[in-house]
Amino acid sequence: MTSSAEPARPFLPQEVIRAKRQGERLTGRDIAAFVAGITSGAVSEGQIAALAMAIFFRGLDIDERAALTLAMRDSGTVLDWSDLPGPALDKHSTGGVGDTVSLLLGPIVAACGGYVPMISGRGLGHTGGTLDKFNAVPGYRATPDLATFRRVVRDVGTAIIGQTDDLAPADRRFYAIRDVTATVETLDLITPSILSKKLAAGLQSLVLDVKTGSGAFMATLDEARALAESLVAVAVRAGLPTRALVTDMGDVLATAAGNALEVRLVIDVLAGRKAETRLMAVTRALSAEMLVMGGLAADLAEAGDKVDRALASGAAAERFARMVAALGGPADLLDRPDAHLARAPVVRAVMPERAGVVSAIDMRALGLAVIALGGGRRRPTDTIDPAVGLTGIAGRGASVGADRPLCLIHAASEADADAVAADIRAAYALADIAPEAGAIVIERIG
């Protein structure tokens, strides 16, 4: 007896590559089969590279992006937080210089009744990584087992860890090949790469911080807007309610850049010793969006008030301290940060060439200076020095001169400080009058 149904055709990776090379639309079945081959090893590195290049030039439509996102999500474990007594919420940043938002946001939202199971990454290019910042805290387990992760999220309300091997493993292999084949910079592949990991985290809703300006990967507003729109559209299509804020990374977000230095700054903000106006404006806006999306506030005004109370009352600081201790870090980190965080032996001021007002900053150059000091990676295998970086970074509109440096360099040696001082000075443009202040949160999408 024979069936009239058409038999499923065998999966051939080269046929999927050929179809996309010719500009054809890939089916969900073909995408799922190719991703399964990435995970199992049945698809070779050369075939993955060929498909990446075909997508780079031919593109994916919204349905193909969603199919690729879901297939990569399903290539490993998908977490389930339905047993939590509150909503599982998260945010993702596209990367910046001195971006310590996550360290503040997780504890703030937890203090307001949310649960933030945040899976973060290492630094990429000239931008710092949240995972690298927590690796500057002695004893902190940035890659705990799943049972510990679940326990800390439930008990504390937030746990910030690194991506585990079983979350979206196809993306890890795909990204590594894209990185060495010059196929990273396309929305068609950036979108699934970001969202597959967030969908695997089992979230109820997601807020995105898409940065624009000289310190961002998407330097122009049009590029950042396009990425934000792609991320929101694909996430919603994949069943994850998502909003995006486009924020300014053309100016100093926080006055410190470098891993231990940024952790110390966050502790000072939580303790009320530092204001950090721009950093808190972005953190407050993202946190408020999360509270509204999670049903923990009726509107952004109420959510903003809750954020302010969590900080002023010390509730957010308490959550931060509990999270650090629960993941193996020092129980007294907030009270005695200098006893635990590494310090660089050389601290040197970078003086401006003349007195004036900062009119523009090449933030990417400052990020690269931190890497040159040893605070980031030139190669994936490099070891980071947590102590090095910059503090007291002057932002746009700041007056600088003989009594006000551009920043302080924290370096492992005098030679290292010498090597970056001129580049830092060249990153600054000075004027005689202050520039107009621009918006920190530029657009809201979704």
Query: Which of 30, 10, 21, 15 has the alpha carbon at shortest distance from 52?
Result: 21
Determine the Cα–Cα distance for residues 214 and 363; give it in Å rounded to an integer. Answer: 5
Determine the Cα–Cα distance for residues 42 and 64; give it in Å rounded to an integer. Answer: 21
Is residue 365 helix, strand or coil? helix
Determine the Cα–Cα distance for residues 272 and 287; give it in Å rounded to an integer. Answer: 18
- Specify which residues 348 forms β-bridges with: 409
Determine the Cα–Cα distance for residues 207 and 445; give it in Å rounded to an integer. Answer: 10
User: What DSSP assignment string belongs to 227-260?
Assistant: HHHHHHHHHHHTT--EEEEEEE-SS-SSSEESHH
- Specify which residues 88 forms β-bridges with: 115
Query: Which of 134, 86, 114, 129 has the alpha carbon at shortest distance from 323?
Result: 134
Determine the Cα–Cα distance for residues 201 and 161; give it in Å rounded to an integer. Answer: 12
Determine the Cα–Cα distance for residues 30 and 36; give it in Å rounded to an integer. Answer: 10
- Report H helices in 22-61: 28-40, 45-58
Kindly list the catalytic residues.
90-93, 130, 178, 193, 197-198
Q: Strand 407-411 to strand 158-162: parallel, antiparallel, or no bridges (unpaired)?
A: unpaired
Which residues are CB-contacts of 83 (< 8 A; sequence separation ≥ 6)?
none
Q: With both helix axes pointing from N to C terminus, report the angle between 28-40 and 62-73 in degrees, rounded to the nearest 10.
A: 30
CB count, 10 Å around CB of 390? 28
* SS3 labels along 307-343: HHHHHHCCHHHHHHHHHHHHCCCCCCCCCCHHHCCCC
Which residues are CB-contacts of 410 (< 8 A; sequence separation ≥ 6)?
258, 261, 343, 344, 346, 347, 373, 387, 388, 389, 390, 391
